[in-house]
């Protein structure tokens, strides 16, 4: 918002014609009619005075008196208005799942545009290898050990874990099942600073009473306790906070349109819009048109016979050629495009910070086994880079330069202080954030070296093991809570984590273990406990079955996705009428 400033003198008042020209000009610049009429009436009663009214832009206008006594309204300098914020969060999108990150199969021109017009962090990390902890860390600026959400909400713990029939050696600890009301969230900070706050999409941070509107968002479209889209990706869906649209409506496109609608309705005031896609979380679903497009693309690239390799506890996808998943990436990207185009259309792009990231690595194991994160090892749920390294983009007009990249390691806890800093808002003293502002990096300056931490005392559905991580520069230590061993990787030389160098660096391992243990104690971390009913022979039998029969079934299923006669059901997951 700018201000209209008019200095009115006796000469200004001498002509009714001049007064009418001023009033018409105010209307031309879309000054609200009540303000314009107030200014007009003030001309009759105020001599040498200054009056003002809000303008829906960052410009201001003054009334200039020339030597001949004629008054003219001219633009004058005005303070820059507060920036808007659009924060976009994907679900389960891997670091390699975008064309600007090197994918030759997926297409993401609109998300790529955010990266190319701002700064891309090549070592951007989520706060956890699964969703809810990462989402809570974005909202609070704190590590999972502090906010207490250490696994996805709904995960089993304690003796309940035995019901999974996975025969693991330890029982995972309990965790916070709702985002605590005592947290001052990023949404509350922006709301209290005068921003209009909006949430759309996946929440997964607690039951009713801990939904988006309970944590600072004034508007909520689709956020509730569920972590995947109930009813699927095409209308009608089952969501108490998002009314179903026409039959077959795409969920990501709907979320994009709701966000664009909010932006247009609030274009004349600062806003904080948080677009949190359910995409590309399972179930994987797309339209027949997009399936056909990417099925043909995979065939042109050359179909392969084997797509999976077994890594420790579960099969891992080695190639990106799932046409269903590719269609989902494109639909989400199209929805991002709806938002970016609306910002352009309204002339808001130059005063809007746009951020993009994901909550954990791509699903190369477990769930839908639908993508590959190579050359990074692992994926969602796992402790290696494929599980925690994410797309991490910030476009801040006037601060970031186009096509810039930073190799500085940054973390999900950094979003909170960074966005506050960009908006000129103080981080509340009551919220002891663990992250730091990345604005110095955005401005081309340096950031002091610091350690980064992760703690996941649970078993991932994707083969992940209970572990804690300490990262110092290029050195990454993984400490395993089952057998108390450590792995050490030099990421500069081995980003794929294929060469554990712990044995050749015993001193570094010992020092990093000590610092990690100190941090875990300081943050009152919880740990898994040994299961007295553990039977190692049952676990080994299960793993052997997954390696042979399990992998064989996966190969057959994913080969079928590329069959030219493939059809999932009669109406393609509700995306089209039944034939």
Residues 27 and 126 in one domain: no
What is the sign, positive or negative, of the torsion defined by CA atoms of 316, 320, 324, 326? positive
Using alpha carbons, select from 482, 476, 480 the residue that is nearest to residue 467.
Answer: 480
Residues 61 and 190 in one domain: no
Residues 47 and 129 in one domain: no
Q: How far is CA 280 from the centre of its chain?
A: 12
Identify whether 553 is part of a domain.
no
pLDDT of residue 303: 92
Integer angstrom CA distances of residue 417 from 85, 231, 407, 412, 503: 14, 36, 19, 11, 38
Using alpha carbons, select from 168, 164, 147 the residue that is nearest to residue 156.
Answer: 164
Identify whether 262 is part of a domain.
yes
pLDDT of residue 239: 97
pLDDT mean over 210-234: 97
CATH number at residue 535: 3.40.720.10
As a whole number, the mean pLDDT across the chain is 89
Residue ending a domain, choose from 76, 99, 123: 76
Residues 69 and 214 in one domain: no
Q: How far is CA 210 from the centre of its chain?
A: 19
pLDDT of residue 19: 44
- Is the pLDDT reported for residue 29 higher than 50? no
Hey, how many other C-beta atoms are within 10 angstroms of the C-beta on 501?
A: 15
Residue that is written with structure tokens 């009713």 in the block: 208
117-157 residue pLDDT tens: 999 999 999 999 999 999 999 999 999 999 999 999 999 99
pLDDT level of residue 81 (50, 70, 90 thresholds) = confident
Q: Report DSSP state, residue 410.
A: B
Residue ending a domain, choose from 53, 76, 99: 76
- Is the pLDDT reported for residue 32 higher than 60? no
pLDDT of residue 74: 47
- Is the pLDDT reported for residue 13 higher than 50? no
Confirm if 21 and 43 have CB atoms less than 8 A apart.
no
pLDDT level of residue 358 (50, 70, 90 thresholds) = very high
Using alpha carbons, select from 375, 357, 376 the residue that is nearest to residue 92.
Answer: 357
Using alpha carbons, select from 391, 382, 388, 227 the residue that is nearest to residue 316.
Answer: 382
Using alpha carbons, select from 396, 398, 430 the residue that is nearest to residue 415.
Answer: 396
Q: Report DSSP state, residue 548.
A: I
445-462 residue pLDDT tens: 999 999 999 999 999 999
Residues in the chain: 579
- Is the pLDDT reported for residue 53 higher than 50? no
- Is the pLDDT reported for residue 368 higher than 90? yes
- Is the pLDDT reported for residue 427 higher than 90? yes
> How far apart are the C-alpha atoms of 432 and 265, rounded to whole Å?
34
268-284 residue pLDDT tens: 999 999 999 999 999 99
Q: Which two tokens stand for residue 422?
A: 């960009």
- Is the pLDDT reported for residue 45 higher than 50? no
pLDDT of residue 577: 67
- β-pairing verdict for 196-201 and 271-276: parallel
pLDDT top residue among 31 and 121 = 121
pLDDT mean over 198-205: 98
> How far apart are the C-alpha atoms of 274 and 259, rounded to whole Å?
8
> How far apart are the C-alpha atoms of 315 and 369, rounded to whole Å?
8
pLDDT mean over 311-325: 97
- Is the pLDDT reported for residue 6 higher than 70? no
Residues 535 and 406 in one domain: yes
Identify whether 571 is part of a domain.
no
Identify whether 421 is part of a domain.
yes
pLDDT of residue 48: 34
Q: Give this prediction's pTM.
A: 0.86
- Is the pLDDT reported for residue 58 higher than 90? no
Q: 3-state class of 475 per DSSP?
A: strand
Identify whether 178 is part of a domain.
yes
> How far apart are the C-alpha atoms of 510 and 426, rounded to whole Å?
39
Identify whether 114 is part of a domain.
yes
> How far apart are the C-alpha atoms of 474 and 259, rounded to whole Å?
38
Confirm if 91 and 278 have CB atoms less than 8 A apart.
yes
pLDDT of residue 576: 75
Integer angstrom CA distances of residue 258 from 199, 362, 426: 10, 26, 29
Confirm if 468 and 517 have CB atoms less than 8 A apart.
no
Residues 250 and 309 in one domain: yes
H/E element, 489: strand 486-490
pLDDT of residue 119: 98
pLDDT of residue 36: 42
Residue ending a domain, choose from 28, 52, 76: 76
**pLDDT above 90 covers what percent of the chain?**
85
Residues 401 and 259 in one domain: yes
H/E element, 353: strand 352-358
Identify whether 441 is part of a domain.
yes
Strand residues in 91-246 grouped as ranges (E)? 119-121, 124-125, 170-171, 196-201, 219-221
Task: Calculate the CA dihedral of residues 146, 149, 151, 152 and round it to 10 degrees.
Answer: -150
- Of the CA atoms within 13 Å of residue 377, those in its CB half-sphere come to 18
Using alpha carbons, select from 86, 115, 106, 118 the residue that is nearest to residue 275.
Answer: 86
Domain extent for 473? 84-160+169-541
Identify whether 351 is part of a domain.
yes
Confirm if 510 and 134 have CB atoms less than 8 A apart.
no
- Range in 62-76, 234-248, 472-486 the model is least confident about: 62-76
pLDDT mean over 505-510: 98
pLDDT level of residue 50 (50, 70, 90 thresholds) = very low
Residues 17 and 108 in one domain: no
Residues 398 and 369 in one domain: yes
Residues 205 and 235 in one domain: yes
> How far apart are the C-alpha atoms of 390 and 380, rounded to whole Å?
11
> How far apart are the C-alpha atoms of 335 and 219, rounded to whole Å?
19
């Amino acid at each position: 918002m700018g201000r209209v400033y008019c200095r009115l003198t006796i000469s200004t008042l001498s002509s009714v014609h001049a007064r009418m020209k001023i009033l018409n000009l105010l209307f031309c610049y879309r000054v609200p009619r009540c303000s314009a009429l107030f200014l007009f009436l003030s001309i009759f009663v105020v001599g040498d005075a200054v009056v003002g009214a809000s303008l829906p832009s960052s410009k201001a206008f003054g009334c200039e008196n020339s030597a001949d006594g004629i008054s003219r309204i001219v633009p004058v300098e005005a303070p820059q208005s507060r920036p808007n914020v659009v924060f976009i969060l994907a679900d389960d999108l891997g670091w390699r799942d975008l064309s600007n990150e090197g994918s030759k199969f997926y297409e993401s021109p609109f998300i790529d545009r955010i990266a190319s017009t701002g700064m891309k962090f090549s070592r951007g990390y989520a706060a956890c290898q699964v969703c809810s902890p990462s989402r809570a860390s974005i909202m609070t600026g704190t590590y999972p050990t502090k906010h207490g959400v250490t696994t996805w909400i709904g995960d089993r713990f304690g003796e309940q874990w035995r019901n999974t029939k996975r025969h693991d050696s330890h029982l995972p600890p309990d965790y916070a099942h709702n985002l605590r009301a005592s947290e001052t969230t990023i949404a509350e900070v922006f709301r209290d600073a005068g921003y209009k706050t909006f949430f759309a999409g996946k929440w997964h941070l607690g039951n009713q009473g801990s939904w988006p509107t309970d944590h600072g968002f004034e508007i909520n479209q689709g956020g509730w306790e569920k972590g995947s889209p109930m009813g699927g990706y095409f209308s009608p869906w089952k969501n108490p906070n998002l009314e179903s649209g026409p039959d077959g409506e795409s969920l990501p496109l709907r979320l994009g349109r709701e966000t664009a609608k909010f932006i247009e309705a609030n274009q004349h005031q600062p806003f904080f819009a948080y677009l949190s896609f359910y995409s590309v979380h399972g179930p994987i679903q797309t339209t027949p048109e997009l399936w056909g497009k990417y099925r043909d693309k995979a065939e042109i690239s050359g179909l392969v016979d084997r797509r999976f390799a077994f890594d420790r506890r579960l099969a891992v996808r080695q190639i990106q050629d799932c046409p269903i998943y590719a269609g989902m990436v494109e639909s989400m990207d199209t929805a991002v495009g709806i938002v970016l185009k609306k910002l352009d259309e309204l002339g808001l792009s130059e005063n809007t910070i746009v951020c993009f990231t994901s909550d954990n690595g791509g699903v190369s194991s477990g769930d839908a086994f639908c993508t590959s994160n190579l050359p990074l090892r692992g994926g969602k749920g796992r402790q290696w880079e494929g599980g925690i390294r994410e797309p991490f983009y910030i476009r801040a007009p006037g601060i970031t330069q186009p096509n810039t990249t930073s190799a500085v390691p940054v973390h999900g806890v950094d979003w909170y202080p960074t966005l506050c800093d960009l908006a000129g808002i103080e981080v509340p003293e009551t919220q002891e954030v663990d992250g730091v502002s990345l604005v110095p990096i955005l401005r081309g300056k340096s950031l002091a070296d610091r350690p980064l931490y992760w703690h996941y005392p649970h078993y991932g559905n994707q083969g992940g093991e209970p572990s804690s991580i300490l990262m110092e520069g290029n050195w990454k230590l993984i400490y395993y809570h089952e057998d108390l061993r450590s792995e050490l990787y030099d990421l500069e030389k081995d980003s794929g984590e294929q060469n554990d160098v712990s044995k050749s660096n015993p001193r570094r391992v010992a020092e990093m273990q000590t610092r990690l243990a100190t941090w875990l104690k300081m943050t009152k971390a919880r740990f898994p406990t040994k299961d007295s009913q553990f039977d190692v022979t049952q676990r080994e039998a299960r793993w052997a079955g997954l390696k042979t029969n399990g992998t064989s079934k996966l190969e057959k299923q994913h080969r079928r996705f590329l069959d030219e006669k493939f059809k999932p059901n009669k109406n393609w997951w509700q995306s089209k009428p039944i034939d």
